[in-house]
Structure 1
Amino acid sequence: MRTVKEHNERLHEILDTAQKLFAEKGYGKCTVNDILNEIGIAKGTFYHYFKSKEEVLDAIINRAAGQVLERAQEVAANTDFTPEEKLYHIFMAMRMEEETDTMLIEEMHRMENALMHQKSLTTVVTLTVPVLAAVIEEGNRSGVFCCDYPEEYMQIFMASAVTLLDDGIFGFSPEQQRGIFKALIFTLGKMLGVDEQALWEKAAGHWM
């Protein structure tokens, strides 16, 4: 067990350090040697865990997306929430608020990091859609929702939301973003078969 623990500790040390350096120096400018020097490890140790800097990036994105997924699953399993409340809280749980995450998000918004940005958005959508679809199916069973295509609708909604509301893609003003957000909520209401205005009033109170 001790060997496994040490392995995981070193793995996360590399990821934590790389994430910090990617945010500070920029992914393109940060080298494997920068990561090695920051931690104080040999190249052999690094390559025992990762084949390349790109593989480290994938692991960082997957770890962040996994944390979002974990929070979403925790909300979905909470029996104190109604299906409607679960949706609100899952969407809120998808926000990244830690300083390092914020810096990394800003770094991803740079043109040269478009691939990194795309990977992060795709991963989050792919992981969270099944959780959201399960909540909608729960709402269908209880009569709260009337949605014929839970998974497909969530794919459409999430793909639209993460791109349209992302500052690094379209760069809409806050006023424009609020209008888009409202339109998305009204669209969600139609998808779920609920009153759109009532859904907007609740959503605005939670998210804005």
Structure 2
Amino acid sequence: MRISKDYDERRNEILDTAERLFHTKGYEKCTVNEILKEVQIAKGTFYYYFKSKKEVLDAVVSRYSELIISRCEEVLKRDALTPEEKLMHLFLSMRINNEVGKDVLDEMHKPENALLHQQTLKEIVTGMAPILVKVIEEGMEKKVWYCKYPLEYMQIFLASSLSLTDEGIFDVDADSQQRILVALISLLEKMLDVPEDTFLELFNQNWG
């Protein structure tokens, strides 16, 4: 007997299956037919929800970015935090290791999943930059710092930090990651024209 499922349930079922197959087989090697077989649906049903495999990939990537963005939007609502504290909380909120899991992250770092990895980084930078800009503008209004190019600086900082600390792109050990993190915090201080070690001391006091 054919089981009828509502739109969101069926769509999520396709996404869950595709995400698992993308990670185990690699995006390029995974076919639409394999997704159909796993979910046990007809090709017409698949194309009712998604126009292509690429559109499924975009939806899988959006899951990661939406997770990060939702957490960061919650940080923005915390009026008790200073702009400096908000900024540090936002950067820490970009970590998805606990929610996604090491096995999934390891799969994303494989060469066959390069497109999935690249799309995820792009989505995070695109979605996070405007949120960070809001905090930068709040800090400028409160005379905490000054930033000549808020959006561009945040895009540069995000792209640099996400790439340089990514073990799937650069072969870095724990010590190297720590040095990169300190250098990135120092770079952020220069971008915002604040005294040296302003963010580093805050980071060490709360998360170091």
Aligned 8 A contact 2:23 2:113 in 1: no
Listed one character per residue, the Cα deviations across residues 58-98 of structure 1 (whole Å, up to 9, x for unaligned) are: 11102221221121112112212111111111111111134
Measured in 1, the distance between the counterparts of 2:103 and 2:198 equals: 35
Q: How many residues are matched?
A: 204
Q: Give every structure 1 segment of 4 or more consecutive aligned residues whose post-TM-superposition deviation is greater than 3 Å.
A: 98-104, 204-208
Aligned 8 A contact 1:19 1:104 in 2: no
Question: Which residue does the alignment assign to 1:120?
Answer: 120
SS at match of 1:144: coil
Q: 1:158 to 1:207 in 2, by over 3 A?
A: farther
Shift of 1:104: 3.4
TM-score, structure 2 as length reference: 0.89
- Indicate the larger mover: 13-22 or 156-165: 13-22
Measured in 2, the distance between the counterparts of 1:198 and 1:151 equals: 21
- Indicate the larger mover: 20-29 or 123-132: 20-29
Q: 1:61 to 1:81 in 2, by over 3 A?
A: same
Aligned 8 A contact 2:26 2:112 in 1: no
Listed one character per residue, the Cα deviations across residues 89-136 of structure 1 (whole Å, up to 9, x for unaligned) are: 111111113464543332221223222221111110011001101101
| Overall identity of the aligned pairs, in % | 50
Structure having the larger proportion of residues in helix: 1
1:129-168 correspondence to structure 2 within 5 Å: 129-168=129-168
Question: Which residue does the alignment assign to 2:107?
Answer: 107
Q: 1:88 to 1:80 in 2, by over 3 A?
A: same
Q: 1:24 to 1:160 in 2, by over 3 A?
A: same
Measured in 1, the distance between the counterparts of 2:174 and 2:54 equals: 33
Measured in 1, the distance between the counterparts of 2:100 and 2:162 equals: 20
SS at match of 2:167: coil
Q: Is there any run of 5+ residues in structure 2 with no aligned partner, and where?
A: none
Measured in 2, the distance between the counterparts of 1:148 and 1:12 equals: 42
Shift of 1:148: 2.1
Measured in 2, the distance between the counterparts of 1:136 and 1:73 equals: 14
1:37-186 correspondence to structure 2 within 5 Å: 37-98=37-98, 100=100, 102-186=102-186
Measured in 2, the distance between the counterparts of 1:192 and 1:203 equals: 16
Measured in 1, the distance between the counterparts of 2:92 and 2:199 equals: 15
Listed one character per residue, the Cα deviations across residues 14-55 of structure 1 (whole Å, up to 9, x for unaligned) are: 112211222233333333233223222222211111122222
TM-score, structure 1 as length reference: 0.89
Q: 1:182 to 1:103 in 2, by over 3 A?
A: same
Aligned 8 A contact 1:164 1:170 in 2: yes
